[in-house]
Amino acid sequence: MEVIMCMSRVSRISQLLMPYLLHDQKDKLNIKVQALWDFDGSGGSGLSFKAGDILTITSKDMGDWWDAELDGQTGIIPSTFVEEI
């Protein structure tokens, strides 16, 4: 009986938490941009790219620094180095 009650509680907790766990996925942007200039992001959490590369912007939550993806890599990039396509 205790096992059934415990499983029921776990199921209920999962139902309550699921919207919060999925929040990041739902709010993730998918904006394509093209690099105007080269950027060396190797000194931290930056994402390096070359002029002409096509990147996917996933978040614009940090002002002039955006979260981006390129060839399976992720990091932050300066928004002034890219233009939306």
Q: For the domain that residue 76 is a member of, what is the CATH number? A: 2.30.30.40
How many structural domains are present in the chain?
Answer: 1
Token representation of residue 16: 């309550």
Strand arrangement, sheet containing 31-35: 73-78, 65-70, 54-62, 31-35, 82-84
Q: What is the pTM of this model?
A: 0.67
Residue 79 has pLDDT above 90, yes or no: yes
pLDDT digits (tens, 9 = 90+) for 12-30: 655 655 554 445 555 688 9
Whether 81 has a pLDDT exceeding 90, the answer reads: yes
Q: Give the H or E element holding residue 35.
A: strand 31-35
Q: Alpha helices of 1-85 — where are they, by DSSP H?
A: 2-27
- pLDDT (0 to 100) of residue 26: 53
- The pLDDT of 38-54, averaged and rounded, is 96
Residues spanned by the domain of 32: 2-84
